[in-house]
Structure 1
Amino acid sequence: PSIPETITEDITCVAIWSTNLYTITFSTGGGSLVDPITKEYCTDVQTPKDPTKMGHSFKGWSPSIPEIITEDITCVAIWSINQYTITFDTAGGSAIASITQDFDTAIVKPEDPSRTGYTFAGWDMDVPTNMPAENVTITAKWMINTYKVTWVNENGDVLAEDVVKYNVKPAYSGDEPVKTPTAQYSYAFNGWSPEIVAATKDTTYIATFTPTINRYTVTWVNHDGTVLETDRNMEYGTTPTYDGATPTKAANVQYTFSFKGWDNPPSTVKEDTTYRAVFNSFVKEYTITFDTKGGSAVEPITLSYGTRVLAPADPTRTGHTFLGWTPGIPDEMTEDITCVALWAPFTYIVVFDNNGGTGSMDNIALEYAKDGRIPQCTFTRTEHRFLAWNTAADGSGTTYQDGSTIRHLGLENGETITLYAMWKINQYPVHFTVDGVDIPGYPIMSDYGSSIIAPDAPTKDSTDEYDFIFIEWIGYVASIKVTGEMYFNAAFSASPIVEPEVADGKVVFDVNELEGITLSTKIIQDIEASFQDNEELKIVFELNGGIIELDKKAFDMLEGDELISIINVPTSNMPGTILNKVQDRPVFDISMGDVHNFGGGKLSISLHYDLKENEDADNIRIWHFDNEGNHTVTRCTYDLDSETVTFMVNSLSYFSIMYEEDEEPETSSFGSTVYVILSIVMIVALFGAIMMYSKKS
């Protein structure tokens, strides 16, 4: 309650309050107005919208607006001045820097821009005196320039004038300029100088021309006006030349004419010109020409008409006889003529010489000037082949082949020409072999009938049982000639490395696969020692399919290193004196070193022989040849079981197994001796048998 005037009791007086109102006032300093805020004490304050001010930016209040009002206050706006930019767009002109400065500050107007070909016409708006409250772009205005273009001929005459805007390329629209031609030149419009370009200034263009040298026609005519040559397009100032055939003028009965020149000497070309041929005249001459048809040349005769003609010497021609002229040479010169020589060709004979051959061929007759053909050679010559023909027997002349075309061989009428056959001797291979294989360097090709020279002695590798020593070339003798393809196989003796077999009273050297064996001195000495114990001991050599058996007397004839051989001689290598007699019968060369005659010694020889069909063993004979090819017949026996022929001799050479049907054998001195010895042996044996029989009885 209200406080009483007089206290009467205890009371509590409660104060009654009213809330104060406070106002916030806003001072914008020239900015937009902001209404004041009046609110009760301690109530919330809502911040008003920021004020604005031209050319300024609002930064806040001072003091700041409180969140709760507690008193009256005045808030003053805080401002910062703005800067703005004026930009100048020169629209293709020179650049002008933009202006940036504070609002409402004074502006200094820039210099006017410039632009090539244009005149500055101001800005699209005035440049402000003070900076406005905004950014501004001011654009330049321009007026395009125009220029005077003058077109002038080469002689200075003005052809046209034009006004052209800047950067526009002018074009001449008048008649094409011309220049008056001269005798030497014509002119063609070539354009303007300087070169036409887009207008940037007042310009004068002068017409230019290309000169072309003038061309003219030069005509060359004969005396009668006939056109000989026309030279067109001759340049002014050049000197014409006549390039055609030399002008001629037909002769008449009295004169001939020769070209002299032209009616005017050719000079430099200045206009169309005609030149006429002029001639010298001469008294007419005539010529006799001689065609010798391949003969020696005869000079032509040239004389004036009616002059007496002296006949020239007769021509000559190889291989021909001169017969005269056709037509005949005239007595007086009246015209041009050609006299042709008449000829008769030589004939000659071609003879064919066999030049060491055999046969005959017909001669052929030929004319000198005509081709002939050599016939096929029909001559033959033993062991030769025909090569060609030659005009010399020794081949030093000219060579021709069969079927060759021949001509002009004979140089005299009736001459004989001999063609000689050229021969090449046949060649055959000559073989020297070891075990059937040619030695190095062989075979060699050798001429038929030429001597054969044996090579050095070959060697043969030793085996476990034998050393080999060269004996000879089988069938070769120093005088042997080439008769065809020839083979000489090396014969070797075998010197045994092991001792021979000794049995049944025989010392046997079994080298059946060889043609020969060489006995060393030591082996011979050992065998001789064996004879001391047994005088009846036999020495047997089994060689090349044959057997040689010697008794002591025969063996005593041998010395150290003797070659013992049985060689089957091929017919191709057989001496001719023997071959002609034996034909295809087998021939053996049997030798014991240098010993050919064994005196009283006994040699038994057995050779393998296959009886031919219809041959009787009783008719087999041995022909024994000496060095001259003479022979004697030696008796023999033939063993059908072993197919061997056995005979006794006391000398060695060539032996041939022959077949002599119903003929008695001849005997030689050594053959007779053998026969006597055999007879004595048989008698002694018979006598011994009788005595033994008597004693036994």
Structure 2
Amino acid sequence: MHFSRSLPMAAPARRIHVRRASAIFLAATLSALLALGGVVAGPAQPAAAANPTTFADLQTAFTAGGAVTLGGDITQSGGGLVVPSGTSVTLNLGGRTLNVTGVLGQNGNSNGSAGIAVEGGASLTVVGPGTLYAKGGAGSAGIGGRVGAAIGSITINSGTVTATGGEYGAGIGTGDAGQAPAGTRITIAGGTVTAATTSVGAAAIGGGENGAMPDITISGGTVNTEIFSGVGIGAGYRGAADRTITISGGTVNTYGSACFAAIGTSIYNWNNPDCVPDSKFVNIIIGAGATVNVSVGYPAAHWNPTIGFANSAGTGTFTNSGTLIVGSHVLRIPGNATATNTGTIRGAVDGSLAGNDFVLTFDAWGGHSAPSPLRVTAPTLNAAQVAVPSAPIREGYTFEGWWSSRTAGSKLTTTTALSTSTWYARWSGPGHPITFDPAGGVEIPSISVESGQTFTPPTTTRANYTFAGWFTAVSGGTEWTAATPVTGPTTLYAHWALTTYTVSFDTGTGGSAVPSQTVTHGATAAVPVDLPTRLGHTFGGWFTTSGGASVWNASTPVTSDTTVFALWTADTYTVSFDTGPGASTVSSKTVAHGSTVSLPAAPARSGYRFWGWVTTSGGTTEWSRTAPVTGPMTLYARWVINTYTVSFDSNDGIAVASQTVAHGDSAAVPTPPTRTGYSFAGWMTSAAGSTAWDATAAVTSDVTVYARWTVNSYTVTFDTGAGGSFEPSQTIVYGGRASVPSDAPIRSHHSFVGWFTAASGGSAWDDSAVVTGNVTVYARWLIDSYVVSFDAQGGSAVASQTIGHGQAATVPAVPTRAGYAFAGWFTTPTGGAEWADSAPVTAALTVYAGWDALVPTTVSVSIEDDLVAIPAGRSVTIFGTVTPTTAVGTIELFEDGVSIGSGAVVGGGYQINTFALAGGNYVYTAVFTPGEPRFVSSTSAPVDLVVNPLRPRFPAPATDTDGLLDEIDANGWPVHPLPGGLDSVLGKNVPWTNPLDSFADVYVYSTAQWLGTYAVVGGKVDSGYWAFMPTLTPGPHHLVFVGQTSRTVSVYEFSVPAPAVAALPPVTPVALASTGIEPAPWASLGLVLLLLGAGLVARRRVRSA
């Protein structure tokens, strides 16, 4: 076996799989091209041999499909058999041997072929006696799929079959990266099948590495997978699973390897040696007829999954109803997974099982060294091949076995049906014997109890008796209880009481209750002395059934609870019918108790209508046809007297309701009707009205009476209004017509138009219309009118108005005139008095528009000190100014289009203080609204204000003075001298010219050091004092200011003087000679270098200037 890839390192694994992926792609492409060539240009296949004896004939038979029987032994290597897609082959080994090996290829490249390739859509069935050896090359199965290819279904019914997959290929199943379409299945129904693979990444039966797993069914035969072959039966490493493995019969011996289950999934994670389940799962079913041995051939330090079915989410199921033998390994069930056992599992189980999973605990009951709790995953100890646990120890006693209760129950044997329970030690020894005499009941075995101890007495049973307890004598004696101490050998006697039964007496619905009787077994019941009663019924005796089929014999011995039933006969009653005087008679009827009476046909009575049958004479309660009769009774006919209609003919008046009047009664006089134009004159007996109706007369038939009417007269009045001349009224009968007055009325300053139906509005009076009521008609006048003209005097035209005498004109819309404001209407072109528009008009009139020339205005907005930028958190004063200063009105100030305040113009302006402003850009505008028409409104141009927040400091322009001087030269930054030195700026403000900056970062050189960030206020850097100024060495230095917003750089140069030292004499050759020291050449060189350095410094200073 090969173990080169069982635990690969990370880098080689990537290199190998990249090479394999390329090989898989090339192999799949080559397979597709070869298949296409076969379809397009392949030669016709020869006819299959009947019983092939050569490999070529066998392949021809496979290509043709159908049943194929070997005619002789065949061995072939270097190229396997192929069952083409769409072909079904049944291979009968015929007692022969077939040994076939595919193209081996190169390990790591997956370029081999299957021993027997069963292509997708094809099927292979192996039958008959004989031997089949099939071995696949690299990447391919022994029987099944080639690299990257789909497989068909494989069935083995008999024979001896050995299949070995090449590297990455299953023994029986898919090849490397092979496919198993839905419905693809491996079935083993008989024979002896041995499967293996040459790498741990593939299953012996199932999926190749990276390949899909088909459904697997094993129903018979013997199936073996070789040790160290990866997954025994199931999914290959990194291959698709989510399928079902069913083992319903036969014997299966299968091995896993390291983190590869004997049955199930390949759950190895190359990056995690603890075998964490991944996303794959399978459903595993072991049936009642199967025996399955699982083992894992790898050091015990690993997880060794015997059955791997669930993924990390707990998906996947395991069901066992057969016999699963785990051996020396452990069946581990993940905590979130579902596993069911209704059969037998032999071996250790870690995790929860539903079904046969029992824990037996053991109580030594007076002894010691009881066995530890025993977990059994089988229905019996025998099925689990586990012996009854060993005996505990109790000095001086003999162990008699484990029992389900301390004093009774059943004894534990290897065939006892198990459940989770506690078993108690049963002892015999120096205790006193306790013997039980059941006195005709079920025998109870004797027990032994130590002196002074107590025990719970058992119970027994006896037919037709009730157990009354254990006593110390056959008759009488003392009852023995669980609290009675044992003082010596004892015999206990069962006492019994005959069983009693209840004899019940059922009297039915409505019957009176009869008490039940308690009767001992074999005795008789007594016939009740008091007979039951039931309303409307007569008692007929006691019967054995409710229907009265058999009479109860009270002398019969009672042997069970008994119910006897009362029999009843219903009573009958006479129902009489009383129709009253003058009516036809009705015969009576006989009715049984509780039944309903059939009512007779309605009787007859002259002058009356039959209403119905009532329960009392003169009553109104009608008898219900469904009411039960419960005794003799009489029903009474109820009659309704005849009535007549008195009708009222209103003779063209409003309708009057008729009246219904009983025979002999009189009608009521109704409310008089009305008729337009007429007055009511009474009711008459005829339409012509010759005789008045007597309302007090008795009514004996239907009657009609008639209304009499007299016509009305009305007044027509003529109203001429205030100031009009008088016109006399006219009297006209209903339906007549008034006449128009001969002379028209007269009214000052008015002209008569005509007569109208209303004082205002209405319509012209039609004198030909008939009069139907009092009428007033009104004179309509046309008042004298005058024209009021409006002279706009250069403004827009205004329409004139025609105004009636004494009425006021309406003020027209205000005219407009370019460059002027309207001042009102006046009585003369040059002014005069302002026109009183409420004055009554009594003659034609012209009024004149007055105008004031417009005064243009200009409004502007500004910010205090002409600020352009400020620091965040500061407030400012915003000014609005209008010209001319004589303008009257209001100024409203806006911040970003939102009003921040308004007020009256005072001295030509208005101002407001803002709140503290947050960082950002602000735009301010002002709007002037005039308070007098002659001033023109105006809006200012916007003014911007930048509010700068304090930002993180900007990096120093350079790291040291040399770099700073280079930047000064490159950028042209100004360098300002500080003649007074650093002390001249301590506590003072440094000027700043860029208005966009609110803060400046300050650095000091030679080597750049940050002094802080300071606010720019009023054009100066508000430094106050240099809080973080370091100690500076004597010599030139620079203060550098960097604006946070504009990034403007300003440089100030100053010097730190050296401390004063004592003067030394000059060092000259003469002086040196006086000391005896010769001038050395290196000393001269040092002097030269010092001069060059001074020159460079001077050059830097010149550049900075």
Query: What range describes the TM-score normalised by the shorter chain of this pair?
Result: 0.3 to 0.5
Bigger relative contact order, structure 1 or 2 (CA pairs below 8 A, ≥6 apart): 1
Q: In terms of Rg, which structure is larger? A: 1
